[in-house]
Structure 1
Amino acid sequence: MDDRFTQASGTHVYTGCELLVKGALESGVSLLTGYPGSPLAEVFDVIQRNAELLKNNGIVAQIANNEALSIARLNGSQMADVRAITFMKSVGLHVASDALAISNLAGTTGGAVVVVGDDTWSHSTQVPADSRFLARHVYTPLLEPGTFQELKDWVNAAFQISAAADLYVCYLTTENQASGGGNVELHPNIYPDITGLKRVNLDTQLIDADKRVILPPHTAQIETETLRERLPTAIETARDLGLNKIQFMAGISRKKRYPLGFVSAGLAHSYLLHALEELNLHGDIPILKLGMTHPIDADIVREFAEQVGEIYVIEEKRPLLENEIKALLTHAYQNGDIETYVNVWGKQFPDDLVGIPTVSGLDASLLIQKLIPLLKHRLGTSDTFVDLEHFAREKALQEEVSEQQIDIPQRTPTFCPGCPHRDSSSVFLEITQQFMDADYMEKHHNSEPVDLVFHGDIGCYSMLKYEPFPRLMHNLSAMALGGGSGAGIDPFIKNKQIVFMGDSTFFHGGMSAISDSIKNNQDIAYIILDNQTTAMTGHQPTPADALDLLGNPTFAQDIEKVAQGLVGDSEIDIVRTNPEDRVNYKKYLEKTILKPGVKIVIADKECAITHHRRLRREQRKTIARDGFLKYEKHINITPEVCEFCRECTAVTGCPGLKIVNTDYGEKIAIDQSNCVSDGACARIKYACPAFEEVIVTRKRPPQQQAMASGYRDLLSDDPLPPPPPLTFERNWNVYAAGVGGMGIGTISKVLVVGGYLQGYGVTFCDRKGLAIRNGGVYTHIAYTQPGVHASPVIPYGKADLLLGLDILEAARGITAQSLFRIASPTRTTAVVNTAKTETISTLIGKDNFDPDTLEETLQTHTNADTYFGVDLFAVSEQLFGNKLYANMMLLGTAFQRQLLPLELEPLQLALKQMVPHADLDTNMKAFNVGRRLALDVQQIENETPHQLNYAEMLSAKRQILEKKRGGKRLAQKYIALVESTVETLNMGSDNMHRLLALYVYDLVQFEDLNYAQVYVEKVKQVHARDSEVYDYRATKAAIRYLHKVMLIKDEVYVAHLLTSTEKLERDKELYRVDTENGDKIKYVHLNRPHFTVMGLDLETDIDTRNWQLNLMKRMKFLRRWLSKWHAREKAFREWYVTRVIDTFAPTDTEAYEKHLRALECVEEVRGYREIRYPKMEAARQIVESLLEE
């Protein structure tokens, strides 16, 4: 239980969702319900964390199967004198509207509140949101809190209005409120008289059925009562509560109107105050703040209109308030209630000035843009207080940030590492391609090609819209209606149809869609992705779980049994299977899809996040008991075996993969900090032998590994004097950017609590809707001095500090194409982690970005003199074994460089409060590492591992060869061959010489010294016809690409690479294996060897151990015995030598450039077998077109 939710006085900081729950507790609520959806999903997490408090006081909290059912709960609750509240997102209100319309007119007893979250910027919602219209449509009063204090306190006001007016109250929040927060004043909780622990008996004779049951002929009567009595009562109650108020009218005479005034509500009012604050006009212009925006209090609008010359309505989205106020004042003027008609402006400003946008949302910056021309035009005379010079500076800043154009790739969301949905989507991607292959379909299914149609739905599987899976979503309907979309096209097409459906979606309404498909004999396969949680919104329980939101035991409903009830005695197949068993899963899916009618497949695999949370808890217990883990399993990729064909990334799009640079070019590697070792990347169609399982066993706790002194010094326990805190006059803003899972949320929590403990006013907004799907995560935090107003979003160019945990997302925050544009060279200091984190588009090769270029850009658009950048991931991995502590290093660096207005004590206290106890010690160490980095980053930059130079490479490979049988003589010949070749080539490039030494070594290991000699002679042959005029580019290309085609990665050579000395030593270092301490490392290599024997292609999946590969790598004789084995690769090698190498004899620059391109044509020849062969043919065609003359 969180003590903040029982705090009865004083202040504390809360998120917006936390404030809604605290407000409900302070209001005497008996029932909390709803359905999770962004931006209000966190409400249910807050409830879950405070389950003990609620259960002890009998407060009921339940997640309904859908939003309509939550409204029905409120309807039922009002049969007794209880207060009930439901939470849902804007599209959830669409689902609930029918129930709400009826329930609202049926009235209330204790009070019913419907909290709806609008995503005005459409950041994570599929349709534009403006729930104000729907609230009016169903006759509910609408409250729009503007500050975080109001967000909490007005929950009670909403209940009071609901009870007094006998109507439900819609309570509108927006994403920047729900995902934001701040410090607020607190009041005692009120615990209700009627609860789950204190039940009552209803006297049914006292129930007024004519009121509770809305049916004709009473409907029209109730509508009349609602319009003439109940809604006016709501206005009177809101007036008594002071929800609508005229601000900043002091000193203005009624005889002399103020030139203009603003009307606003909700968060738009906060943005307006913030904009006026930035324009030095806070408190100088009258504002009518409407707390209840439906029904509008006509009296206060008329009062305001009589004191101002013009009204400007500031609202998000469409001109709803504007039009209603226009109509209200027109009516008042026509009736003589006001003497002078007052013009009302909003989406259009007078004299062709641009008004308030109608699309997306608002923020202070957008209002500053629109208000400067307006106020300058209307108030910019000599006898007014408008500071035109300040306006000019603000306008210049707006223009400056608008010119910061940066071309960077989007970071689209994707499935988490280990997500079970990736198993299904990658299989379907393969099936989709194969089903369009006529030969495949004829051979395997005796069928023509089949073009699969995929109907979209709402859930984690909505990520199918993005790379690498866009082929798997052709349309999108509302939640649980993917099958319904199929029903509309099914009678008219021959295609087979697929729809993915989540387990929570199944209970939300999916079972009805399945029933509809069965009834109409639709030709569709339902793939029910049963991951045992509502993962999309943060892992709330589903009806299939054995525990409810508060941890109470409940009956766990079985999806398979429910589906069986739908199909009855029909022949419809229902199968539950594990999608991780890729081969059998794929076979079953292919057979099932091609059957006629409805098919139901339940892909049963737990959500990776919940699964690994449980594993981590178990590991922590083991470490607490034994002091270490005796067993670890990892997925590893051997870079020398990887061909960088990107098939693993293109088929899975897994963020547990990354790209690394090696002496052989770019390769795919495992990001050990993200990878969960589920092996999905290794289960692709064309098995890549680079994948393997690494098993590490330990007998005793691992010893402290040796590390360079510079890194060791970073862990020093010596006291480090803290700098004096930064000071500021009015406000101070920090913006932090990263990727989901990096720890931006922790940075935000620590800085928010630290600012609160320091005594500042704190306002913040965490944009984290895509966090658990590896999307960008951004936080805005403002510290303010007393009396200064700040909205949750930093205005353009006004961040004092930019904390970039990801360099791409840091750059996104400053570009004019983004929503935020937070940086300016005169105000902003950037502290950035310079490591590259791939996007999915860069991982699959459809985009790219250069961190060095981004770093230069950041320095250009922030204060270059105070900029600080370092690869914190590398430091964290070196010191702590993973990247997860880079966030605390970033925070420590900013603190020690005197960039935070915080003292050490409140910052450390915030860290202790916000970081889980099990990780506190390491996080504290990481924070102090960051502090030491701030003082001397050069100490680690000097010790960054460097690549071997030519002499070091030659020596290293000599030592390895010497260990072979007859190795000393072989090593001597190897050295002589390389040195003589280097002397002949004499290109003056240490890098090319070191690569030559490496490549000759590879060819010796592949076959023998004679094979390497052939390579050397061909390189010399090219060199003899090359020229320094061309910087020996052809020779350099021959060194790289002739090696590539001669080094045929057959099963024999791959076995060598997987068991080589270099690999073993590298893996020991990576996994911190100390054999002298009793550690052991073992391998399970995930292979699919391919042999051609007597014209037959033999291929099978086999998991091999090192002893087996040690035998295989000695079987070089198979290359001669099996003449057809890798025949196509051998033929390509011979073709390249004779057609490209041997013909190199350019006569002019044009011929040279063409032949150079021919030499380089094999750059894209990558992969194994079926992946490689089409690329070999493409390279042949390119060469022939280049050298045809």
Structure 2
Amino acid sequence: MSETNDTVRGDEALARGALAAGIGLVTGYPGSPATAVFDRLLEMSGSASADPLQAQWAPNEKVALEMAFGASLAGTRSLVVLKSVGMNIALDPLATISLSGCHAGMVILLGDDPGAWSSQNEQDSRWLARVAEVPIIEPISVEQATPLMAQAFAWSEGLGLPVIVRITPALIEAQGIPDEPWVLPPTHRRFLRRRNRWVVLPAAVTRWHRRLHRLLRQFQDMLEASPYDVGEGGVAGDRTAVVAVGATRIKLCALLGETARRHRILGLSSSWPLPDEALIDWLRGLEQVLVLEEGGPFIEEQLHALAHRAGLSVRILGRMDRKVPEEGELSPANIVGALAHILPPEKLPQAPDARRDMPSRTPLCDDCPYTPAFEALLEAMERQGGRERHIVIGETGCMVRANLPPMELFDVKYSLGAGLGMGIGLAMNDRRHRVVALLGDSSFFHTDINALPQAVQMNLPMAAIILDNGTTALTGGQAHPGSARDERGRPRVAVDIAAVVRGYGIEPLVCAADDSAALAQAYDDALTADEFRVIVVRGPCPRHIDEE
């Protein structure tokens, strides 16, 4: 156990494990629930040491993963911090990196968001990880989080494979006393030069793929004796049991309290590949097994297949037969409802009320610079034929709060950085409406920038309004390329969004968010022009930007 015997949250426990592993770079893109771990690493690592941790928020998750892989090739252990939907962006390089493998340890901290508390979907990203054929582990407790994070780097470096540590908000918000991790020895920090070792070409893909499968089998063998899969409780002769995957074990044990030891429970951290032989031994003799996991029936499907191959007659219950709801985060009521299928009524715990507010239902801050900019836009649309004549596209970020009453601003909103691309498609095919694409500054650098040359080249009658508040505000004020301070708050030269737009061959109009006259004129011009117009609205976020 920890020598200091201090109780910490899950985010700090994970950060401790990464530091014990000796990481030299942490990168990623902000998004709940994983951002908190990056923030803790900044707090705990400092910048005054002889060899400070390099901490860099990347423009998007693809760039982050590629930066981390480059660091790994240079012999530096690296951590990528991203959320569920960010995995979609990172999948492109990851599906190839898994073939060649890495050099120094490389771990992806993947924060899924069951219930979509701060996401546009509630995807289970484990399926994407399996597409890329990357191992996945899920800490089952705060106590385990620190050593398992360090172990992930040891596994990664030992086999030369990236490893995913999947988390959910339940782990981040839980508290406990972390177990002491192994402190990994330092790496040599040098590039491994070997002819074609890091060159992935079509002629070699099958050979690389065969190598990957061999390494995954080795990883699976290691998991057969993993101390991080914890079977506990129950009495001799029990015929029912629960598999609690990752942080669902935290929820289950909190609900059962002292009675947890009376039930046969397997806290499973090894999500893929599964430790088949160990699980067959555990399943043997059971009649019913309830699988509790956040997301889809990822483990449940594997257990069905495993039991069938092993000739076991055990009945697997979970999301596939709707004993557990297929949608939403597992609530205490959901867990009690699922337990009712394997336990008598007198053994069921009481489910506490676990309601909470969705962040997207929180209005804009009273002093938000976006507010006057949105109000001016609504007024301009009324002057130019009325609100119904316009299609307003929004994006992920603080602007989503303007879709609440009374503004109810959006007609279309999907994913981060999708506004400009969707706007082009709408403007090409709907000439009855004027398309207005609202782009955040961080989302502009994330993905919208890729659609900008297309928009300039096509020159359709539409408007792009880039809201530049100098930070990634919704997730806590993290830096992006256009921020004047870096991840540790040190001043730096910001990338000028207007200059970037200008470089693509279009002159943007720059307005202050509180200049109502300039905004009115700019909006009126953009909403009536026969060509593509870009307006950059600047208003520093008072919550996160110090203008002294």
TM-score by length of 2: 0.92
Pick from 491, 494, 514 the counterpart of residue 428 of structure 2: 491
**Alpha carbons 1:452, 1:498 under 8 Å: kept:** yes
CA contact (8 A) 1:42 1:538 kept: no
- Indicate yes or no: 2:294 matched with 1:316: yes
Asked if 1:220 corresponds to 2:206, the answer is yes
Cα 1:560–1:164, aligned 2, differ >3 Å: closer, same or farther? same
Query: Which runs of no fewer than 5 residues in structure 2 stay unpaired?
Result: none
What residue number does 1:148 align with?
142
Deviations 1:492-530 (A, max 9, x none): 222221111122122112221222211222222111111
Secondary structure (helix, strand or coil) at the match of 1:9 reads coil
The answer to whether the 8 A contact 2:435-2:463 is kept is yes
SS of the counterpart of 2:467?
strand
Equivalent residue letter for 2:522: Y
Structure 1 partner of 2:396: 458
> Does 2:62 correspond to 1:68?
yes
Distance in 2, matches of 1:263 and 1:409, equals: 29
Cα distance, 1:473–1:436 mapped onto 2, change above 3 Å: same
Pick aligned residue for 1:168 from 162, 165, 168? 162
Amino acid aligned to 1:561: A
Structure 1 residue 81 displacement after superposition: 2.9
Q: Distance in 1 between matches of 2:199 and 2:94?
A: 13
CA contact (8 A) 2:46 2:52 kept: no
Distance 1:533 1:245 in 2: 42
User: Are positions 1:548 and 2:548 aligned together?
Assistant: no
Residue-by-residue CA offset, 1:275-334 (whole Å, 9 max, x unaligned): 3336x3x2223223321110011101110122323322222232221111111121222x
Counterpart for residue 268 of structure 1: 248
Q: Distance in 1 between matches of 2:138 and 2:397?
A: 29
Once the two structures are TM-superposed, the CA of residue 412 in structure 1 deviates from its matched residue by 2.5
Q: 2:316 aligns with which of 338, 344, 350?
A: 344
Q: Indicate how the Cα distance of structure 1 residues 190 and 201 shifts in structure 2: closer, same or farther if over 3 A, else same.
A: closer
Indicate the residue corresponding to 2:85 in structure 1.
91
Task: Determine if contact 1:8/1:188 at 8 Å carries over to the other structure.
Answer: no
Letter of the structure 1 residue corresponding to residue 318 of structure 2: G
Amino acid at match of 1:543: P
Q: Supply the distance in 2 between the matched residues of 1:57 and 1:193 (Cα, whole angstroms).
A: 13
Contact kept in structure 2, 1:515 and 1:566, CA below 8 Å: yes
* Counterpart secondary structure, 1:103: helix
**Equivalent position of 2:444 in the other structure:** 506
Are residues 283 and 186 of structure 1, via their aligned partners in 2, closer, same or farther at CA, if it must alter by over 3 Å?
same
Quick one: structure 1 residues 29 and 306, their matched pair in 2 at CA, closer, same or farther if it must change by over 3 Å? same
Counterpart residue number, 1:478: 415
Q: 2-side partners of 1:64 and 1:488: how far apart?
A: 28
Tell me which protein shows more helix as a share of its residues.
Answer: 1
Q: Give the TM-score of the pair, scaled to structure 1.
A: 0.44
Deviation at 1:68, TM superposition (A): 0.6
- 1:293 equivalent in structure 2: 271
Secondary structure at the counterpart of residue 455 of structure 1: strand
The 1-side partners of 2:358 and 2:291 are apart by 37
Q: Secondary structure at the match of 1:149?
A: helix
Structure ID, larger Rg: 1
1:21 and 2:15 are equivalent in the alignment? yes
Question: What letter is aligned with 1:23?
Answer: G
Equivalent residue letter for 2:142: F
Partners of 1:16 and 1:148 within 8 A in 2: yes
Matches within 5 A, 1:134-283: 134-186=128-180, 192-193=186-187, 202=191, 206-209=193-196, 211-227=197-213, 229-248=214-233, 252=236, 258-277=238-257, 280=259, 282-283=260-261
- Measure the CA separation in 2 of the matches of 1:420 and 1:327: 55
Aligned pair 1:414/2:414, yes or no?
no
**Closer, same or farther: CA 474–43 of 1 in aligned 2, 3 Å:** same
Equivalent residue number for residue 521 of structure 2: 587
Report 1:938-977 matches (<5 A).
Answer: none
* Superposed displacement of residue 221, structure 1: 2.1
- Relative to structure 1, the CA distance from residue 267 to residue 50 in structure 2 (aligned partners, 3 Å threshold; closer, same or farther) is closer
CA 1:232 to 1:501, structure 2 compared with 1: closer, same or farther past 3 Å? same
- Give the corresponding residue for 1:1057: none
Distance in 2 (alpha carbons) for counterparts of 1:530 and 1:541: 12
In 1, are the aligned partners of 2:459 and 2:531 still within 8 Å (CA)? Answer: yes
Contact 1:316 1:357 in 2 (8 A): no
Per-residue CA distance 1:702-724 (angstroms, 9 max, x = gap): xxxxxxxxxxxxxxxxxxxxxxx
Which residue does the alignment assign to 1:918? Answer: none
SS at match of 1:374: coil
Shift of 1:274: 3.0
| Structure 1: tracts of 5 or more residues without a match | 1-6, 195-199, 334-339, 377-387, 438-448, 616-1189
Identity of aligned residues (%): 25
CA deviations 1:953-987 (Å, max 9, x no partner) are xxxxxxxxxxxxxxxxxxxxxxxxxxxxxxxxxxx
Counterparts in 2 of 1:135 and 1:475: CA distance versus 1, 3 Å? same
**CA separation in 2, counterparts of 1:96 and 1:89?**
10
Residue by residue over 1:539-569, the C-alpha shift from the partner in whole angstroms, topping out at 9 and shown as x without a partner, is: 11121234421355644211111111101xx
Q: Could you say if the C-alpha distance between residues 153 and 87 of structure 1 is closer, same or farther in structure 2, counting changes exceeding 3 Å?
A: same
Partner of 2:456: 518
Work out the CA distance in 1 between the residues paired with 2:48 and 2:153: 19
Alignment match, 2:325: 357
Alignment map for 1:848-859 (pairs within 5 Å): none
Partners of 2:104 and 2:160 within 8 A in 1:
no
Gap change, CA 1:581 and 1:410, over 3 Å in 2: closer
Q: How far apart, in 1, do the equivalents of 2:221 and 2:233 lie?
A: 23
Q: What CA distance in whole angstroms lies between the structure 2 residues aligned with 1:112 and 1:246?
A: 29
Shift of 1:133: 0.8
| Alpha-carbon shift at residue 614 of structure 1 (Å) | 6.0
**Separation in 2 of the partners of 1:78 and 1:367?**
41
Structure 2 SS opposite 1:11: coil
How many residues align? The count is 546
Matched-pair contact (CA < 8 Å) for 2:144–2:228: no
